Amino acid sequence: MKFLADESVDHPAVTFLISKGIDVTAVADFARGAPDTEVLQTANKEKRILLTMDKDFGELVFREQKLSAGVVLIRLHNVPAIEKATIVYEAIDRHGDELAGSFSVITSKSIRIRK
């Protein structure tokens, strides 16, 4: 399973996920400032599930009905970066197979997965 981290995802979280063996590419490393539509297209082209903290991707997927290899919306405000990374890692570890092709929302209390 491969992921693409949007610029909204903290760099320490990306580094942590990589250290845990998760295949993550960061948009900030190759397309800083890219529009959301381009980021989503890149994720789809590379068959990567998009990790983001940007609710605008929900608009693209649901309202504009853009295709998606999967989106994980991280809703962990006021949570330290390393704790945020741990929560995301645990969600991927427990629900990895369900994330592809889904729109998922991670909060501090739950993960909601919508196919």
- In terms of residues, how long is the chain? 115
CB distance 12 to 85 below 8 Å = yes
What does the alpha-carbon distance between residue 49 and residue 71 come to, in Å, rounded to a whole number? 6
Class of domain 2-114: alpha beta
The domain locations on the chain are 2-114
Extended strands (E) in 8-114: 23-26, 49-52, 71-74, 103-106, 111-114
pLDDT tens digit at each of 115 positions of the chain: 999 999 999 999 999 999 999 999 999 999 999 999 999 999 999 999 999 999 999 999 999 999 899 999 999 989 998 899 999 999 999 999 999 999 999 999 999 999 8
